[in-house]
Amino acid sequence: MDRQKRLPLSLHILAWNANGLRYKRDELQELLFREAVDVALISETHLNAGITTRIPGYTIHRSDRQTGQGGGTAIFVKNDLEHHEIQSPPLLHVETNAVIVNTRSAGALKLVSVYKAPQEPFDEQELDLIFDIATPTIVAGDLNAKHPSWNSRTTNPYGRRLYDFASRRAILVEGPVEPTHFPPGDHRPDVLDIALFKNVALHHHISTAAELSSDHNPITIRLGGAVPPAQHLLRLTNWRAYRDTIATALPPVPIINTTDQLDEAVALITTTINRAIAASTTTRAKDDWDPLALTDIIKELIRDKNRARREYQRSRDPADKAELNRLEREVKTSIWNHRNEQWRQKVESLNPDDGSLWTMSRYLRKKRPRLPPLHGPFGVAYTDADKAEALADSLEAQCSPVYEHLDEAHIQRVHSHVRRQLAVPPPDRIPHTTAGEVRNFLTHLKIRKAPGPDGIPNRALILLPKKGVAHLVAIYNATLRLRHFPTAWKCADVIQVLKPGKPENIPASYRPISLLCALGKTLERIVLARLEREVEALNLLPSHQFGFRARHSTTQQALRVVEHITEGFTRKEHTGGLFLDISKAFDSVWHRGLLYKLLRGGVSLPMVHLLASFLQPLQVVQNRFLRLAVNAPWFVRNEQLHREFNIATVREYMRDAAARFMRTTQDHPNPDIQDAWAYDVAGIRRHKRPKCSL
C-alpha cells in the first residue's frame, strides 16, 4: 500500500543542466538530501533506454532523446509528494517533460523541465503548448536565451523573442543574479538557466550556487514562505500495553437480535480495538535518512571542490581550472569507492540463518514498476483518482457475467426458484461456533499480513483477551443465526499488480489483490468449515476434483493422471487429454446460478441464505458511493448517512417506486392494469401478482 502523500505549503525546486547525468548521480543525490530539495528539474541528461538512474526517496520521470546523442530531460520528485506525470505535447525544437504537484497553498502546480539546443529555432507555438491556460505553471531549464531582463550580461535573438513572447502572454521570466553558465576558454559567463512563471501567485526566490560538476551551476527556486521540512513520524506500538488496555476497554458482550444490532456490534469492536492500539502507540520523528552516509573526509572534500569551483568562476585562471578538475575527479572517485565499500560490508553481513540473505535477495529480484498513465474507456488517466476509476471500470467489466448465448427460459427458472427459496424463513439454523474454534483461527493468523480497511493488524487479534474472543463469538454466532454477513466486512482495499508480460498502460493488465478485514476473513473460515462438512456429507464434489479440497494436493492429481495413462498402455489403448482454461471463471461467476446449484445439491437453506447475504452487492455499492461522496469516516454507520442526507436505500426506493406505480394504476383506463392493482391480498401466498400485464 502507498504511504500517505504530503501536500506541502512550500516547495524547494532545483533546476540544473547536468551535461550528462549518468556519472554525476551521486553528487546530485548528496545535494538533494543536504538541501532537502522537493523537486529537481534536470536538462541535458544524455540518458537512453539502456541506462537506469534512480535516487532513493525520489521518483524519476524521464524523457530521453529518441534520435541522436545528448539532450533529454528528467524530473526527480520526492516520494511523499502527491504528484503525477502528464504527457508532454509533441514538440520538434524543445525537449520537455512535466509533472503536476499538488500543494496546500497553491493547489495543483505544473512543473516543466525544458531544454532547447542552441541550433534549434525559437518556436512560439511550441511554448504555447507547454503552458497550461488554467494550471499555474513553472518552466525551468536551459532555453539558450539571453536578455538583461533576467540578469543576462548580453542578449541574443532567442532572448529577444522570448522576452516579446513573455510580455504578450503575461509570463514572468526570472534568472539568478549570478551567472549560471561558465563556458570553456575566454567566453564570458552568463545566465542561461532561467525560470518562467505563469499564474503562480506564491512568493518565490531564485538563487544559484557553485555546486555539482558541470559547466552550468544549478539554480534553486524557493516557492512560498519558509516552512520547516516535514517530519516523518515513526509509530511504535507497545503490544504488552495494548493487551492491558484492550482488556479494560472492552464493553460487556452485546446481545444481538437484529441485523442492525449486528452491524453496530461490528463497528463497536472495531472502534475499541483501534482505540486500544492508538493508546498503546507512541510516535517520534524518524532520524534523517542518508543512503550515501558520506564520511566527514568526503564531505570536506566536497566543500573544497565547491570552493575551487567558486574561485575558478571568479578568476577564470587555467591553473584554478586544473585544480577544480582534480578535485572533481577526486570527489567522484571517493564517492564511488565509498559506495563500493558500503556494498561490500552489506554483502559480508548477510546471514542465511537470520533471514537477511533472503531479504536482500528478494529486494534485488523485486521489480518496482511505476504505474504509468492508463488508457481507460474515457481517455488517458494521469492522476491517481483517474487511474483508480479506470482500474475500477476494468474490474467491473472483468467481474460481470458474460451474457452471450443465453437460455432465457432457464435463467428465469433459476431466478424464480432462488427467489422463492430465499423468501421462506428456514426452520433450521447453522451450527454455532465456540470460543475454542475462534481462538484457533486467530492463533493461526500471520503477523506480517497487511490489514484491511479497518486497519486492525493480525497481531492485535492474536493478543485479544478472553473477553474479546467472547465478543467475536457473539458476533459470529449472530451472523450464523440471522444469516446476515456484516456489511463492513464486505469491503476491501484493492492493490493492483501487473501481470507478467502485459503492457503497463492497459488497466486489464493488472491483477487485483484484495486486502480484507481479518475479522471478516475469520468469519469466512468459520462459514467455510460448516459448508465443507455439508458438501462432504452430501458427496457433491466428484472424486476426481482435487482443487480447493483438504488432503488433495496437485502431486496426487498428477500421480492419478500418470496411473490412468499407464493403465492405458497395459491395455494397449490410446489416452487423450483435453485441458481447458476458462477465462475469468471465478471473477464472472453467476451468483444466482451458484445459489441454484447449492439448493439443488441439497445444501441447507440457512447456509444458502447466509451465502446470498454475502453475495448481495447492490446495497453495498450504493453505500460505498455514498461514503466516498461525503468522505465519511469508517466508524459512521450507513444507516446514519442515509438518515442525515435523506437518501433512501435501494430496498426503500424500490418499495416506494412500486407503491407509486400501483397507486397510479387504479385510475388507469386500461381494465387489465386496473385488475393488476386490485389483486387479492389474502391470496398472495397462492397467487402471483399478474406481472405480465404490467
Q: What is the pLDDT of residues 378-400, one digit of tens each?
A: 778 877 778 888 888 888 777 77
Exposure string for 74-104, b = 16+ CB within 10 A, e = fewer: bbbbbebbbbbbbebeebeebbbbbbbbbbe
User: Are residues 191 and 249 both part of a single domain?
Assistant: no
Let me know if residue 468 belongs to a domain: yes
Residue 678 lies in a domain: no
**Dist. CA 218–CA 42, nearest whole Å:** 9
Residue 166 in domain: yes
Residue 131 pLDDT: 86
Q: Within this chain, do residues 271 and 335 fall inside the same structural domain, yes or no? A: no
Closest CA to 279 of 309, 235, 321: 235
- Alpha-carbon distance of 654 to 590, in angstroms, equals 23
Residue 674's pLDDT is what? 59
Closest CA to 146 of 131, 161, 129: 161
Report the length, in residues, of the chain. Answer: 694
What's the CA gap between 265 and 269, in Å, rounded? 6
Residue 67 lies in a domain: yes
Distance, CA of 645 to chain centre: 30
Contact between residue 462 and residue 273 where contact means Cβ atoms under 8 Å apart? no
Q: How many angstroms separate the CA atoms of 583 and 90, rounded?
A: 39
Q: Give the C-alpha separation, 356 to 342, whole Å.
A: 16
Residues 325 and 217 in one domain: no
Do the beta carbons of residue 480 and residue 429 sit within 8 Å? Answer: yes
CA–CA separation, 409 and 406 (whole Å): 9
186 and 320 in a common domain: no
Q: What is the mean pLDDT of the chain?
A: 83
Same domain, 301 and 328: yes
> What distances in angstroms separate CA 674 from CA 334, 577, 661, 681, one per listed residue?
94, 61, 12, 15
Identify the domain boundary among 173, 189, 223. 223
Q: What domain range includes position 179?
A: 11-223
Any domain includes 186: yes
* Residue 416 shares a structural domain with residue 521: yes
CATH number at residue 83: 3.60.10.10
**Is the residue at 422 inside a domain?**
yes
Same domain, 479 and 451: yes
> How confident is the model over 598-637, as pLDDT tens digits?
898 899 999 999 988 888 754 444 455 555 555 665 445 5
Residues 73 and 132 in one domain: yes
**Residue 653 falls within a domain, yes or no?**
no
Top-confidence residue, 368 or 458 = 458
Asked if residue 479 and residue 416 are part of one domain, the reply reads yes
Is 399 domain-assigned?
A: no
What phi and psi, each to the nearest 5 degrees, are found at residue 55? -125, 125
Please check the confidence at residue 264 and state whether its pLDDT lies above 80.
yes
Q: How many CA atoms lie within 13 A of 669 on its CB side?
A: 0
Residue 685 has pLDDT above 50, yes or no: no
Same domain (yes/no): 177, 271: no
- What the block records as the C-alpha cell of 412 is 428465469
> How many CB atoms within 10 Å of residue 214?
20
605 CB-contact burial (10 Å; exposed 0-12 / middle 13-18 / buried 19+): middle
Residue among 257, 245, 243, 255 nearest 470 (CA):
255
Percent of the chain with pLDDT over 90: 33
Mean pLDDT to the nearest integer, 79-85:
89
Distance CA 179, CA 187 (A): 12
**Number of domains present in the structure of the chain:** 3
| pLDDT, tens digit, 9 for 90 and up, residues 315-357 | 888 898 899 889 989 988 998 898 889 888 888 888 888 888 8
Is residue 659 predicted with pLDDT exceeding 80? no
Residue whose entry in the numeric block shows the C-alpha cell 454466532:
477
pLDDT value at 675 more than 50: yes
Burial status of residue 324 (CB atoms within 10 A of its CB: 0-12, 13-18, 19 or more): buried
Q: Are strands 374-376 and 379-381 parallel, antiparallel or unpaired?
A: antiparallel
Long-range contact list for 661-665, CB < 8 A, 24+ apart? 661/694
Residue 95 pLDDT > 80, yes or no? Answer: yes
Q: Are residues 26 and 83 in the same domain?
A: yes
- pLDDT at 412 (0 to 100): 85
Note whether 517 and 425 are same-domain residues.
yes
Task: State yes or no: pLDDT of 694 exceeds 60.
Answer: no
